[in-house]
Structure 1
Amino acid sequence: MSVFEGCKMARKLPDEGDKKFLVYAGTGTDLIFNHGIELPGFASFPLLEKPSTRDVLAGQMQALVQLAGELGVGCILDAPTWMANADRAAPLGYDAERLREVNKDGVALMEEVRMAAGRDDVLVSACVGPRRDPYADIPPMTVEQSRNYHGAQLAVLKETSVDLVTAYTFNRLSEAAGCVLTARDIRLPIIMSLVVETDGCLADGTKLVDAIDQIEAETDGAALFYMVNCSHPTHFADALNAHPRLKGVVANASSCSHAELDEADTLDEGDPVQLGKEIADVMRENPSIRVFGGCCGTDMRHLREMALEVDRR
């Protein structure tokens, strides 16, 4: 048994108890609007290769660890690998070998942050994203195509110290199912996080809970659990229906639609206090939720208000 495998076995994943975990998936908008850092193709993994921007990536997660410690919750550190797949990396000049190394390096940076924290309630996750823009009107992959495609990145991540993988912003059912099956095949715990539109449905009109049930049936319940991300609570609050397999909510600061946010040239940071109350309300109505946090437009202010309100209720 390797040292990494032993560490993984010693840590409890978010579905193994009552402890809540804070997560920060809003790093991209934070980098652009708050740090003035350009993201080529909205990919953050190239920032790993420059010491100055690498330090910023580490700093974002160090702030998360500090906040979680102050508020008495665990946290999940997401490696900046959401777009580090073949199709999205190729236009940025990354071949297969360079892509392999940057995936490993993203996890290594998160491991450095975790080791400095010295806590057993800090988990390291690697982000994986859909093959193409989740908001584009394009045909989905088949389940088998998805298994083959996502298998390349997941196989690399399996070689690292990650505790789990989080598949963020998926909205095509066959691709989501294929990604989950691939993770199951290589024994890598995976959270499948879906994205909904302002009506609480996926882009093709499928209700969120129906999407979860369909993926569950296709994969024989292989995902660790499900989340919803990159949406505002007013979009998904009425769509969760206390589904027992949905255990995470990672919310946008803005209540605008994805199309509106895509056209925005300024950051809509919403109201951190109100967002905190809305997340706490969602979690009260959906007691299975163990993971919560912020997506686009959020920063530590939003996460602090969420955690404070969740603790009060």
Structure 2
Amino acid sequence: MAKYLNALPQLSGDVFLTDGGIETTLIFHDGLELPCFAAFDLLQSPQGKAALRRYFETYAALARKYDVGCILESATWRASSDWGDRLRYSAEQLAEANSQAIALLYEVRQTYETRQTPIVISGCVGPRGDGYSPDAFMTDSEAKTYHLPQITVFRDAGADLVTGITMTHTGEAIGIARGAMAVGMPVVLSFTVETDGKLPSGKPLGEAIEEVDEATGNGPIYYMINCAHPTHFMTTLETGGGWRSRLRGLRANASAKSHAELDEATALDEGHPEELARQYSDVRRLLPNLNVFGGCCGTDQRHVEAICRAVLAA
């Protein structure tokens, strides 16, 4: 049974950490192969499960070191049906993988949670298409139908909430929100933006948040930004409006390169952890409710620890 379903502790405003770039860490630092960038595929073997456990334990231990909260995001960004088909998973096998991903986080929570470090378990829902390009535009009803099976597994497995990560357009975001709301799950939505601060669909970030809120009756408990560097969206935040109060989480890329440049890159751009941490502090001054901090592509525990120190010192 979900522990924090009806009382999510990150809504208190206390600092919460989440993880970094799981796929880039597993590939470039751990030397693992992830077909279709699918971390959940590691659950098929004891060695893969052990690698995932080590990965999440790193961030749970980091949160406990600094006496802050932690949100563990399941390794299921690619674990929806289209991606499962590409990896030759049956519907039953895919559901089991999603359930196992949540169970693994339960094990980590049991070991690392303390009163000062509540550990929240989130079921991660990724885009149906490419995370860098809105190549699978869906209506909200199509998106709800597509994502509902995965969301339902998360509910049944005991996740505390659902997080839609790397959303590229509002139709899919609305559908995920409605799917989660239909089965009684709190939902967070995280948009990605291009170097101009707009979603890959071309919609400004603020308009996207306002559109989803209007369509869902302010259904998401909060919003996040991920898979973009702070320099890509600082101007947008500086000129933004009241929608900024809906942003509570940030998972930035280590690299300032565009999505197109990252797609072409053959080496990992890890950026500079301390510089990224300073940029997080700058972002926090523009977002009054920002309290969930992690990373995305190219980041690892070094970046997240530097970010943690910076926000705690502010």
TM-score range, shorter chain: over 0.9
Of 166, 180, 185, which aligns to 1:183?
180
Match of 1:18 in 2: 13
Query: What one-letter code is carried by the residue in structure 2 that aligns with 1:43?
Result: A
- Deviation of the 1:56 alpha carbon: 1.1
Aligned twin of 2:171: 174
Write the mapping of 1:147-162 to structure 2, written as runs, cut at 5 A.
147-162=144-159
Inter-partner Cα distance in structure 1 for 2:130 and 2:136: 11
- TM-superposed CA distance for 1:25, in Å, is 4.1
Aligned twin of 1:57: 52
Matches within 5 A, 1:187-198: 187-198=184-195
* Alpha-carbon distance in 1 for matches of 2:57, 2:136: 39
Q: 1:37 aligns with which of 32, 35, 38?
A: 32
Counterpart of 2:122 (choices 125, 133, 136) is 125
Unpaired runs of 5+ residues, structure 2, are: none
Distance 1:296 1:272 in 2: 13
| Amino acid corresponding to residue 33 of structure 2 in structure 1 | E
Shift of 1:11: 5.2
Measured in 1, the distance between the counterparts of 2:125 and 2:292 equals: 17
What does 1:290-305 align with in structure 2 at a 5 Å threshold?
290-305=291-306
Q: Which of 103, 106, 109 in structure 2 is aligned with 1:111?
A: 106
Structure 1 residue matching 2:232: 3-state secondary structure: helix
Contact 1:86 1:96 in 2 (8 A): yes
Q: Distance in 1 between matches of 2:276 and 2:50?
A: 29
User: More deviation in 128-137 or 176-185?
Assistant: 128-137
Equivalent residues of 1:25, 1:78 under 8 A apart: no
Tell me if the contact between 1:65 and 1:75 (Cα under 8 Å) persists in the aligned partners.
yes
Give the match's secondary structure for 2:163. strand
For structure 1, list consecutive stretches of 5 or more residues without a partner in the other structure.
none
TM-superposed CA distance for 1:49, in Å, is: 1.3
Q: Go from structure 1 to structure 2 and tell me whether the alpha carbon gap of 1:137 and 1:110 turns closer, same or farther (over 3 Å shift).
A: closer
CA distance in 2, matches of 1:237, 1:161: 36
**Counterpart for residue 70 of structure 1:** 65
1:226-261 CA distance string (max 9 Å, x none): 000000011122223361111111110000001111
Find the partner of 2:4 among 3, 8, 14.
8
What's the secondary structure of 2:293's corresponding residue? strand
CA-to-partner distance for each residue in 1:164-206, whole Å, 9 max, x for gaps? 1111001111111011011111110111000000111011221
2:222 to 225, 229, 235: 225
RMSD: 1.4
Deviation at 1:18, TM superposition (A): 2.0
* Whole-angstrom distance in 1 between the partners of 2:185 and 2:5: 12
Identity, in percent, stands at 40
* Aligned-partner Cα distance in 1 for 2:246–2:274: 28
Deviating 4+ runs (over 6 angstroms):
none
Query: What's the CA shift for 1:310?
Result: 0.7
Classify the secondary structure of the residue corresponding to 2:106.
Answer: helix
TM-score w.r.t. the length of structure 1 is 0.95
User: CA offset at residue 290 of structure 1?
Assistant: 1.6
Shift of 1:138: 2.8
Question: Counterparts of 2:89 and 2:24 in 1: how far apart (Å)?
Answer: 23
CA deviation after TM superposition for structure 1 residue 268, in Å: 0.3
SS at match of 1:67: helix
Deviation readout 1:262-306 (Å, 9 max, x if unpaired): 111111000101000000111122121121111110011101110
For this pair of structures, how many residues does the alignment match? 308
The 5 Å alignment of 1:244-283 reads 244-283=245-284
Task: Indicate conservation of the 8 Å contact 2:254/2:298, yes or no.
Answer: yes
Query: Where does residue 210 of structure 2 map in the other structure?
Result: 213
